[in-house]
Amino acid sequence: MGWELSKFGKNLCEGSGIGELMDDLGEALAGGGKVRMLGGGQPAHVPEVDAMWRRRMEEIMADPGRFERTLGNYDVPAGNEAFRTALADLFRKEFGWEVTAENFAVTMGGQTAFFFLFNALAGCFEDGTRKKVMLPLLPEYIGYANQSVGSDFFTAIPARLEKTGEHEFKYRVDFDAIDPGDDIAAICVSRPTNPSGNVLTDGEIEQLRVIARQKGIPLIVDNAYGAPFPNVIFSEVTPVWDEGMILTLSLSKIGLPGTRTGIVVASREVCRQVASMTSIVGLANANLGQEILRPLVESGEILRLSKEVVRPFYEERSRQARELFARELDDAIPYFIHRSEGALFLWLWFEDLPIPAKELYQRLKRRGVLVVPSEYFFYGLPDDLDWKHTRECLRVSYTMDPETVEAGIKIIADEVNAIYAGQE
């Protein structure tokens, strides 16, 4: 009908990077042609993990009345109490955190958690002031970019680039540039960082905690790929939390994206606020993911599964993908792969790329390979900053079957080799 959209409507209804990514992912997984899907956050189907979910479904079905209650009953907006209690017991026992079930709130996936948190903490206030979310290490997750119900929502600190090998680089936090003013409502990082796979060290997290504490604002840590589950981190890190932090987890990357289950760990007040938003926006959360995972949390099996199965699986997939790029890309090309420290992707930087990454994405799409161009991951920067690095990178997933990944990498390398050879 062509009805006029509000500012809120325009922000959410007129397309986004995350929307394009999920459309590509859905079409590829639905079998729309021979598409090599190397762009999405779809986790791999790890055989031992899939077998675990099948066993849990069989156990739920075998317990009289449990299946019917799981699918047929609403739960409280904060999430199932037994599930939240199990989480509190696990984190108290393993890490000494002073938490109870009231320090946990369940959401319809991690994406929903960030929509709630960002818009509750930042934006326009009753006195007319505006506050933003600070991203201290850009590039950052594509899914944050359009979360605001308003505009001008983020302020971002460009990462420092450090070449650490012939074809390797790493992003570093520029702590000298981090000085939150009164217009900053929160600091937010993902760990591992999506898209680069960078893992902030325990020391870097502590520095950010100190800065946030001094400013009286929360540090939000997106732990979708992190420790202790799904633990797609290829080094040893210590999970940390206190009431000055907000930690988010997700069941997606452990292998349950279809259950849409996110977890917020925060003060009791914040968790009550998240539960209130859930009740208004969606009444309650999905039950199935919580019911599948609860016994594994109660027994601690979720930690073993993450450490002994999930992490080694992705670490090996990362190694294989890096070897393929080293084999297929012309060694003379100035390419650099971010040091692979976690998550499900490789982040490739093609220095002085002759065409924008978005154009490279379109060329690869026409050849049946889906990746994600870097432009979507750089937002919140000053309008007058022209940082060419923002147009020189690709995020490439290695979670599909090895044959698909190898075929896709060969096409990426062939296209990039030709671009540099022709200097278009």
For 259-299, give the DSSP string.
G--EEEE--HHHHHHHHHHHHHHHSS--SHHHHHHHHHHHH
Q: Where are the beta strands (DSSP E) in 139-193?
A: 154-158, 160-165, 168-172, 184-190
Element (DSSP H or E) covering residue 361: helix 357-366
> What integer is the mean pLDDT of 360-383?
95
Q: Which residues pair with 337 in a beta bridge?
A: 168, 348
> Per-residue pLDDT tens for 190-211?
999 999 999 999 999 999 999 9
Nearest 5°: the CA angle 322, 328, 330 is 110
What distances in angstroms separate CA 263 from CA 80, 108, 245, 336, one per listed residue?
11, 9, 14, 34
Per-residue pLDDT band for 178 (boundaries 50, 70, 90) equals very high
- Judged against a pLDDT cut of 80, whether residue 53 lies above it is answered with yes
Residue 128: per-residue pLDDT? 87
- Judged against a pLDDT cut of 70, whether residue 30 lies above it is answered with no
Per-residue pLDDT band for 218 (boundaries 50, 70, 90) equals very high
Per this entry, what is the length of the chain?
424
- Judged against a pLDDT cut of 70, whether residue 246 lies above it is answered with yes
Phi/psi at 141 (nearest 5 deg)? -50, 130
Return the CATH class of domain 75-300: alpha beta
How far apart CA 129 and CA 119 sit, in angstroms, is: 14
Between residues 119 and 27, the one the model is more confident about: 119
How much of the chain, in percent, has pLDDT values that exceed 70?
93
How far apart CA 169 and CA 392 sit, in angstroms, is: 14
- Judged against a pLDDT cut of 60, whether residue 347 lies above it is answered with yes
Residue 41: per-residue pLDDT? 87
Residue 354: per-residue pLDDT? 96
> Per-residue pLDDT tens for 282-327?
999 999 999 999 999 999 999 999 999 999 999 999 999 999 999 9
Q: Report whether 329 contacts 348 (CB < 8 A).
A: no
User: Mean pLDDT in the chain?
Assistant: 93
- Judged against a pLDDT cut of 90, whether residue 50 lies above it is answered with yes
> What integer is the mean pLDDT of 146-150?
82
Minimal CA–CA distance to 248: which of 212, 277, 208, 219? Answer: 219
Domain boundaries along the sequence of the chain: 7-49+305-422, 75-300
Between residues 50 and 39, the one the model is more confident about: 50
Between residues 4 and 349, the one the model is more confident about: 349
Residue 13: per-residue pLDDT? 73
Per-residue pLDDT band for 415 (boundaries 50, 70, 90) equals very high
Residue 146: per-residue pLDDT? 87
Residue 3: per-residue pLDDT? 76
Residue 4: per-residue pLDDT? 75
Look at the pTM and tell me if it is higher than 0.75.
yes
How much of the chain, in percent, has pLDDT values that exceed 90?
86
Per-residue pLDDT band for 422 (boundaries 50, 70, 90) equals confident
How far apart CA 140 and CA 188 sit, in angstroms, is: 10
CATH topology of domain 7-49+305-422: Aspartate Aminotransferase, domain 1 (3.90.1150)
